[in-house]
Amino acid sequence: MQIDGVEIEDTFAEAFKMYATRVLITAKNEKWALASAASMTGFSTSVIMCGCEAGIECEVPPEETPDGRPGTNVLVFAVSEKDLETQLMRRIGQCVMTSPTSACFNNLEGDIKITIGGKLRFFGDGYQISKLLGKRRLWRIPVMEGEFVIEEKFQAQKAVGGGNFLILGKDIDHVLEASEKAVDAIKKVRNVIAPFPGGIVRSGSKIGSRYKFLEASTNTAYCPTLKAMVESELPRDVNSVLEIVLDGLDVESVNEAMRKGIEAACSVDGIIKITAGNYGGKLGKYLIHLHELFGD
């Protein structure tokens, strides 16, 4: 199968069950809503070392936010409900509550409820105030700047982590351009984030290592500089590979994001092949076959 002359390998991405929530951060203006969201989603590329995977999903116009101020949607993914709660507590407490003019609202209807504002409220040292509006309870925590408003509970749901595809090209310039176009296309899909820097990974990994203390190591089969030294998966004319990793609230959204991302990547000259990372289908709950994304 080919798209714009680029070979799409007959393989699949292997994705995993995760737990996710959507946090809406509002602030006085877009600048501060984004600043708070950027801080909250810092150091959150992979659950392996960061505890969660998080990213900015989209900006939200004032007319669609609860307080009528500009907002930013953040998606946070973790491997368990407990991990999700831990990460939300840390990240909202340290990155959102501290951010000037911010407020923090649940923006997901899920079947799992996680108490965050109901715990952060104790920062108010007894001067916190609860407001129940319909079924939503807000906490007003007095801070030096004024008041930090946060919803008592955030809702979460089962989600999908680890959707991916690899872009193989003749050099880094073309592969990076294709990756950037892929990420731009993915950003237009709701319910999905690409948590790595700029949405792109250059250091994909394989399970295991020759060193016993390491559980994962560099993906040697896709390292162009090792083509002649290992059992390489790279054609002779491929000199650079970048990976796009995706997390989504549901597999349909991940599929759509992968489809649009691959199409965008294939529109760039110098791209030779698109493939995906998997573990033989033995570990992940979701197997996303690349050809099936395009109805083949």
Q: Is residue 100 within 8 Å of residue 65, measured between CB atoms?
A: no
CB of 55 to another protein, least distance (A): 25
Other Cβ atoms closer than 10 A to 286: 18
The tokens describing 93, both together, are 């407490």
Site pattern 82..111 for another protein (x: CB under 8 A): ---------------------x--------
User: Interface with another protein by CB under 8 A: which range of 64-72, 92-100, 217-225, 256-264?
Assistant: 64-72
* Binding footprint of another protein, residue count (CB under 8 A): 18
User: Interface with another protein by CB under 8 A: which range of 50-58, 60-68, 84-92, 169-177?
Assistant: 60-68
Nearer to another protein, 25 or 40 (CB): 25
CB of 72 to another protein, least distance (A): 15
Q: Is residue 209 within 8 Å of residue 215, measured between CB atoms?
A: yes
Query: How is residue 201 annotated by DSSP?
Result: B
The tokens describing 276, both together, are 């995906």
CB of 113 to another protein, least distance (A): 19
Rounded CA gap, 117 and 73, in Å? 17
Q: According to CB under 8 A, which one of 9, 67, 81, 250 is a site residue for another protein?
A: 67
Q: In sequence order, what E strands does the chain have?
A: 2-3, 6-8, 12-26, 53-60, 71-78, 103-106, 112-115, 129-133, 136-143, 146-151, 153-169, 192-193, 205-207, 216-218, 240-248, 271-275, 286-289
The tokens describing 201, both together, are 């990974």
Binders of another protein among residues 124 to 183 (CB under 8 A) are: 127, 129-134, 138, 140, 146-147, 149
CB of 131 to another protein, least distance (A): 5
Nearer to another protein, 109 or 231 (CB): 109
The tokens describing 252, both together, are 């349909």
CB of 4 to another protein, least distance (A): 47
229 near another protein, rule: CB under 8 A: no
Nearer to another protein, 69 or 273 (CB): 69
Nearer to another protein, 37 or 192 (CB): 37
Rounded CA gap, 62 and 126, in Å? 31
Nearer to another protein, 117 or 261 (CB): 117
Binders of another protein among residues 17 to 36 (CB under 8 A) are: 26
Rounded CA gap, 33 and 246, in Å? 23
Residues 6+ apart with CB under 8 A from 1: 7, 8, 10, 290, 291, 294, 296
CB of 257 to another protein, least distance (A): 31
Nearer to another protein, 60 or 103 (CB): 103
CB of 60 to another protein, least distance (A): 14
**Angle formed at CA 153 by CA 150 and CA 155, multiple of 5 degrees:** 120
CB of 147 to another protein, least distance (A): 6
Q: Is residue 193 within 8 Å of residue 246, measured between CB atoms?
A: yes
Name the nearest CA neighbour of 156 among 118, 107, 102, 191.
107
> Which residues here bind another protein, judged by CB under 8 A?
26, 66-69, 103, 127, 129-134, 138, 140, 146-147, 149
